[in-house]
Amino acid sequence: MNWKRRLYYALSPKMRRIARRVYYFPVDVFEGISGKRDAITPPKGKIFIGPGDFKRLGEKLTRDFIQYGGLQAHHHVLDIGCGIGRIAIPLTKFLNKDGAYEGFDIVEEGIDWCSTRITPKFPNFRFKHIPLRNDLYNLGTDTQAAQFVFPYADNQFDFIILTSVFTHMQDKEVENYLNEISRVLKKGGKCFATFFIIDEASRKYLGQTDQAFFTHDFGHYWLHDDKVKDANIAFTKSYIDQISAKAGLQIAAFHPGWWAGRDRSVCVDFQDVIIFEKHSN
């Protein structure tokens, strides 16, 4: 693990967000004064999700949802782990008046920002703060994701999104979420989820590279750092096959990512993408 990642993990979730705001303060002031940042793009210092160009990645993911998941403009969408609107913002330009968006996240600052900046302009976009415990993002509660019941009705959504969410969840939490996804997803509905998946090819890569990202093997899951168990988690393909089938979801497509040494030009994303579909019978 490099020193930057060690330092990042050493800080509490709240301190990480404060440090980022301090670091980007000059840039955010300049962009605010100059008008370079539009009204529904958050300041860099408030963005607590992964690296990369916030706006460009959101637009790229939206194209992937359409191309690989079959997202349509009238769909009712659930964005699990919606962060600070990276996906919601481009979807405001795609979903029509018959479509709707619901997002929830465990980080309250992101939900507050989205509810203040996005919902007033787009009333069919709604956001909920759900305080669940996670080593990487929220230590302020003991409520566990493994027992969480989604605050939505059965068969409510056409399309469900989880980008870099299952990569920060432990096995029992993933099992519960797949059951809840199946419950709130309409029959024939799709779920676009990203993972780190251990299959034959990625296992071979981890055994050959001298810079393996996952080094702690626990059977059906692997960890990057056994001291921060919610930071980066990989699951075996056979385990995901088993628990998704048990939840009533079938894997409609599997697109391996380039994290495991694959050719980037033929991959959909850095992480592995799985498209689940709820059984129609």
Strands 249-255 vs 272-278: parallel, antiparallel or unpaired? antiparallel
Would you state the pLDDT for residue 2?
55
- Mean pLDDT throughout 180-188? 98
Phi, psi of 190 (to 5 degrees): -115, 150
At residue 86, does pLDDT exceed 60? yes
Q: Does 6 reside within a domain?
A: no
Cross-strand bridge partners of residue 273: 194, 255
5 within domain boundaries: no
Q: Which residues pair with 23 in a beta bridge?
A: none
The range of the structural domain enclosing residue 62 comes to 51-278
In this structure, is residue 43 part of a structural domain? no
Q: What angle (nearest 5°) sits at the alpha carbon of residue 51, between those of residues 45 and 55? A: 75
How far is it, in rounded angstroms, from Cα 272 to Cα 245? 18
Q: Band of the pLDDT at 7, cuts 50, 70, 90?
A: low
pLDDT at 202: 96
Distances (CA, A) of 210 to 87, 167, 207: 34, 22, 8
pLDDT at 219: 94
77 vs 125: CA distance, rounded Å: 9
Q: Which two tokens stand for residue 123?
A: 């009333």
Tokens of 95: 């979903």
The answer as to whether 110 is a domain residue is yes
Does 255 reside within a domain?
Answer: yes
Q: Residues 11-24: what's their mean pLDDT? A: 76
Residue 1 has pLDDT above 70, yes or no: no
Beta strands in 132-226 (DSSP E): 157-162, 185-195, 197-198, 216-217, 221-223
pLDDT on residue 24? 80
Q: What is the CATH number of the domain that holds 80?
A: 3.40.50.150
Per-residue confidence band for 3, with pLDDT thresholds at 50, 70 and 90: low
> How large is the average pLDDT for residues 160-166?
96
Pick the range with the lowest mean pLDDT from 162-166, 221-225, 261-265.
221-225
Rounded Cα distance between 257 and 22, Å, is 33
Residue 197 pLDDT grade (very low, low, confident, very high; cuts 50, 70, 90): very high
The band of 88, judged by pLDDT with boundaries at 50, 70 and 90, is very high
Does 262 have pLDDT greater than 90?
Answer: yes
Domain count, the chain: 1
On whether residue 196 sits in a domain, the answer given is yes
Q: Is residue 174 part of a domain?
A: yes
Q: Is 78 exposed, middle or buried (0-12, 13-18, 19+ CB in 10 A)?
A: buried
Confidence (pLDDT) at 4: 56
More confident residue, 80 or 25: 80
Q: What tens digit of pLDDT does each residue of 24-74 get?
A: 888 878 888 888 888 888 888 888 777 778 999 999 999 999 999 999 999
Residues 220, 138: Cα–Cα separation, whole Å: 25
- Cα distances from 216 to residues 197, 201, 227, 234, in angstroms, run 14, 17, 11, 10
pLDDT of amino acid 28: 79
Q: Is residue 10 part of a domain?
A: no
